[in-house]
């Protein structure tokens, strides 16, 4: 496999696996158990939407270590993994809380202390590296990036003169994550996934990775999946699937629920105060203090929280009011 | 009747003027000033602009209000289509993207930006990272840079930590020259690099050398204030103009688009107090 992220040996791309079991349903903890220490992991979703948060909490509860994370635009997902000590290298393009809260506190601490190696990338570089893996190629060229500081951070990038046009191009090696962690709105027992709204990089992640571990809000029949909009990620890419309602919380999973800004405020305040406060006020309550997802849902306010976050459906004014309340909270 | 506008509205209007009709324009995340500038442009002088929203990749969306996070279904309501991440960046690489907006915790005289880390390779402060800014800084036809932190007050030791710096510790987004002084145009990128830099103190363009050149200040800022808050000396336009205030209809449009005043999160407290007369 291509393993450029660690700067180690590069070998030829191996044929990619496919997954043909007719029933891939499993429990959340069994799903999390398939993520091994030291894996290269692509976390799906982006910023405040559809991040596989329940699966990440289950991974942290298992004490997984040494992950390399690759991705485009991320926030609380990678910050939580950083605060929980699961990561040793970050190849993300962005990890933060936009202008609303600012920099990601746990991520910053982990990278500034050296506990996590800095291996930053950029969205299109990552896209090309994933597309190389999807196509079974060792690399793809890009024109951009040359002239910036990224090549100094990534000695694995190579320059070449195009044999057709004579222009200089940058070659970026395939990235083949060992596992993609994806939360979708719907799936079926076979593992077909339907993502509604922006897929971010999830479809690329699913096709480039050796395994796809998915959580979904609802498992439905294949016929129902087609009625709801069709298949975004065909079943044969998917290793296992688990039905986890509110599985992206506190990020959004429309149409089921909006982004929980109130919970994010609580998270951010704990993270900002420092590693000890984050452990005591957040991890010990919402991750290690909630042994399973049902306990987590109870911790965040159960049905009342779910109803509050689904009130966006009542129209534009209700949607805005939800954010107005959040802004004043 | 509205007789004044805020500094945020003033800056949104200045950013709006950098957008040309009939071009494909993209914004990233964490930048409500830019989101608003694009929506204002689309509804005023640039109706044929292709507005692609960052994070959702929705095309020509009409959000009912601005949400405090950009990857939210609020932000792609009404979009006529939605692009995939690969499609958006392919558009830029193929030369179809007319303009992108970029910023940085450090911006130098050539328009290079650092969003990666302060201190490199010995990192003192890890910044969030630039998303796709590195790629788009090379590929988009034109770049508008912006910052709301040009002003760099002295700390207790009398030192200023500039946003507009002599040198970037790390070049995340490419400007007009590399760290070695090589002109970016020799690299054969698709894009023409930074064209404008809009700050809370002034407006810069980039001259034929690719060097930042002050072209205008606000009614309430002075040339001295612009210069003393910078780590490098900009070139000066033959006549430094005054940035015009937006029309009343534009101010009212911004207030309709952003009822939660999400864009004020980008603006420092002292700048929220600034006020400009409008007609």
For chain B, the structural domain boundaries read 4-273
Distance from chain centroid for Cα B54: 14
The structural domains of chain A, ordered by start, are 4-121+176-328 (3.40.1080.10)
List of chain B residues whose C-beta atoms are within 8 Å of the C-beta of residue A320: 64-65, 259-260
Q: By CA distance, what is B258's nearest residue in A?
A: A320
Region A285-295: what's the mean pLDDT?
A: 97
Region A78-92: what's the mean pLDDT?
A: 98
CB contact under 8 A, B126 and A107: yes
pLDDT of residue A3: 43
Cα–Cα distance for residue pair B181/B44, rounded to 1 Å: 40
Cα–Cα distance for residue pair A188/A236, rounded to 1 Å: 12
pLDDT of residue A329: 41
Within an 8 Å CB–CB cutoff, is residue A167 touching chain B? yes
Q: How many CB pairs under 8 A join A and B?
A: 195
pLDDT of residue A1: 40
CB contact under 8 A, A94 and B129: yes
SS3 content of chain B, % helix, strand, coil (to 5): 25, 20, 55
User: Range with the lowest mean pLDDT among A7-11, A265-269, B80-84?
Assistant: A7-11
Q: How far is A328 from chain B (nearest CA, A)?
A: 10
Within an 8 Å CB–CB cutoff, is residue A195 touching chain B? no
List of chain B residues whose C-beta atoms are within 8 Å of the C-beta of residue A91: none
Q: Any idea which residue has 């690489």 for tokens?
A: B93
pLDDT of residue B54: 93
Structure tokens at A44: 């799906």
Cα–Cα distance for residue pair A97/B120, rounded to 1 Å: 23
| Model ipTM value | 0.96
Nearest to B74 among A122, A319, A324 (CB): A319
User: At A12, is the pLDDT very low, low, confident or very high (cuts 50, 70, 90)?
Assistant: low
Selected residues 210-269 of chain A with any CB under 8 Å from a CB in chain B: 252, 254-255, 258-259, 261
Q: How far is A241 from chain B (nearest CA, A)?
A: 24
The two counts, helices (H) then strands (E), for chain A are 14, 12
**pLDDT tens-digit map of A300-314:** 999 999 999 999 999
**pLDDT tens-digit map of B39-69:** 999 999 999 999 999 999 999 999 999 999 9
Angle at B11 between CA B143 and CA B217, to 5 degrees: 90
Structure tokens at A91: 């190849």
pLDDT of residue A5: 53
Residue A239 host element (H or E): none
Cα–Cα distance for residue pair B81/B172, rounded to 1 Å: 30
Region B173-189: what's the mean pLDDT?
A: 97
List of chain B residues whose C-beta atoms are within 8 Å of the C-beta of residue A46: 55, 71
**pLDDT tens-digit map of A250-265:** 999 999 999 999 999 9
Contact status, residue B65 vs residue B74, Cβ threshold 8 Å: yes
**pLDDT tens-digit map of A15-69:** 889 999 999 999 999 999 999 999 999 999 999 999 999 999 999 999 999 999 9
Nearest to A96 among B30, B56, B57 (CB): B30
User: At A323, is the pLDDT very low, low, confident or very high (cuts 50, 70, 90)?
Assistant: confident
Region B236-257: what's the mean pLDDT?
A: 98
Cα–Cα distance for residue pair A36/A228, rounded to 1 Å: 34
CATH classification of B4-273, choosing from 1.10.490.10, 3.40.1080.10, 3.30.559.10, 3.40.50.2300?
3.40.1080.10
Measure Cα distances from A189 to A45, A196, A214 in Å.
Answer: 21, 18, 11
Region B241-247: what's the mean pLDDT?
A: 98
Best to test chain A binding among B135, B141, B148 (most A CBs inside 10 Å): B135
Cα–Cα distance for residue pair B92/A123, rounded to 1 Å: 12
Residue B81 host element (H or E): strand B81-82
CB contact under 8 A, B55 and A204: no
List of chain A residues whose C-beta atoms are within 8 Å of the C-beta of residue B117: 118
Nearest to B138 among A143, A204, A319 (CB): A143
Q: By CA distance, what is A328's nearest residue in B?
A: B260
Give the CA-trace dihedral at B61, B66, B68, B69, to 10 degrees. 0
Nearest to B72 among A48, A112, A142 (CB): A48
Mean pLDDT of the residues in chain B: 97
Within an 8 Å CB–CB cutoff, is residue A175 touching chain B? no
Mean pLDDT of the residues in chain A: 94
Q: Is the pLDDT of residue A151 over 70?
A: yes
List of chain A residues whose C-beta atoms are within 8 Å of the C-beta of residue B129: 92-96, 120
Give the CA-trace dihedral at B219, B222, B225, B227, to 10 degrees. 120
Return the closest-CA partner of residue B143 out of B188, B171, B110: B110
Selected residues 56-95 of chain A with any CB under 8 Å from a CB in chain B: 72-73, 92-95
Region B242-251: what's the mean pLDDT?
A: 98
């Amino acid at each position: 496999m291509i393993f450029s992220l660690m700067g180690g040996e590069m070998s030829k791309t191996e044929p990619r696996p496919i997954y043909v079991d007719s029933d891939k349903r499993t429990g959340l903890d069994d799903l999390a158990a398939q993520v091994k220490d030291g894996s290269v992991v692509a976390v799906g979703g982006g910023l405040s939407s559809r991040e596989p948060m329940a699966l990440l909490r289950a991974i942290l509860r298992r004490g997984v270590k040494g992950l390399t994370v690759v991705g485009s635009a991320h926030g609380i997902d990678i910050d939580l993994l950083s605060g929980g000590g699961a990561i040793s290298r970050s190849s993300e393009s962005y990890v933060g809380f936009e202008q609303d809260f600012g920099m990601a506190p746990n991520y910053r601490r982990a990278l500034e202390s050296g506990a996590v190696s800095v291996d930053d990338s950029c969205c299109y570089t990552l896209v090309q590296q994933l597309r190389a893996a999807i196509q079974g190629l060792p690399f793809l060229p890009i024109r951009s990036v040359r002239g910036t500081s990224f090549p100094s951070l990534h000695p694995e990038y190579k320059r070449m003169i195009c044999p057709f046009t004579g222009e200089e191009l940058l070659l970026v090696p395939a990235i083949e994550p060992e596992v993609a962690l994806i939360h979708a709105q719907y799936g079926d027992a076979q593992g077909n996934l339907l993502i509604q709204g922006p897929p971010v990089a999830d479809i690329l992640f699913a096709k480039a990775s050796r395994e796809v571990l998915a959580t979904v809000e609802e498992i439905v029949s294949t016929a129902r999946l087609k009625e709801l909009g069709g298949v975004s990620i065909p079943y044969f890419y998917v290793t296992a699937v688990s039905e986890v309602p509110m599985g992206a919380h506190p990020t959004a999973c429309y149409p089921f629920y909006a982004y929980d800004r109130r919970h994010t405020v609580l998270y951010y305040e704990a993270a900002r105060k420092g590693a000890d406060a984050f452990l005591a006020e957040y991890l010990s309550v919402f991750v290690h203090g909630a042994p399973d997802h049902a306990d987590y849902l109870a911790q965040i306010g159960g049905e009342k929280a779910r109803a509050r976050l689904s009130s966006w459906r009542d129209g534009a004014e209700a949607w805005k009011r939800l954010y107005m309340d959040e802004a004043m909270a | 009747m509205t007789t004044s506008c805020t500094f945020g509205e003033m800056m949104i209007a200045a950013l709006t003027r950098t957008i040309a009709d009939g071009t494909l324009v993209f914004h990233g995340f964490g930048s409500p000033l830019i989101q608003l500038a694009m929506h204002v442009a689309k509804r005023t002088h640039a109706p044929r602009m292709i507005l692609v929203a960052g994070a959702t990749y929705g095309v020509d969306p009409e959000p009912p209000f601005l949400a405090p996070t950009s990857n939210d279904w609020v932000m792609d309501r009404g979009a006529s289509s939605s692009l995939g991440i690969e499609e958006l960046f392919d558009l830029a690489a193929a030369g179809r993207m007319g303009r992108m907006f970029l910023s940085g915790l450090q911006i130098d005289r050539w328009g290079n930006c650092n969003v990666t880390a302060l201190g490199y390779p010995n990192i003192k402060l890890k910044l969030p990272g630039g998303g796709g800014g590195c790629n788009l800084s090379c590929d988009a036809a034109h770049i508008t840079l912006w910052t709301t932190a040009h002003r760099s007050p002295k700390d207790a030791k009398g030192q200023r930590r500039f946003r507009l710096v002599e040198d970037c510790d790390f070049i995340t987004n490419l400007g007009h020259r590399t760290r070695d002084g090589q002109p970016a145009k020799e690299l054969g990128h698709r894009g023409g690099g930074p064209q404008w830099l809009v700050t809370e103190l002034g407006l810069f363009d980039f001259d034929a050398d690719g060097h930042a050149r002050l072209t205008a200040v606000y009614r309430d800022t002075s040339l001295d204030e612009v210069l003393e808050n910078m780590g490098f000396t900009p070139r000066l336009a033959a006549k430094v103009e005054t940035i015009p205030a937006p029309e009343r209809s534009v101010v009212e449009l911004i207030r309709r688009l952003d009822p939660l005043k999400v864009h004020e999160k980008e603006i420092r407290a002292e700048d929220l107090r600034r006020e400009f007369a409008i007609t």
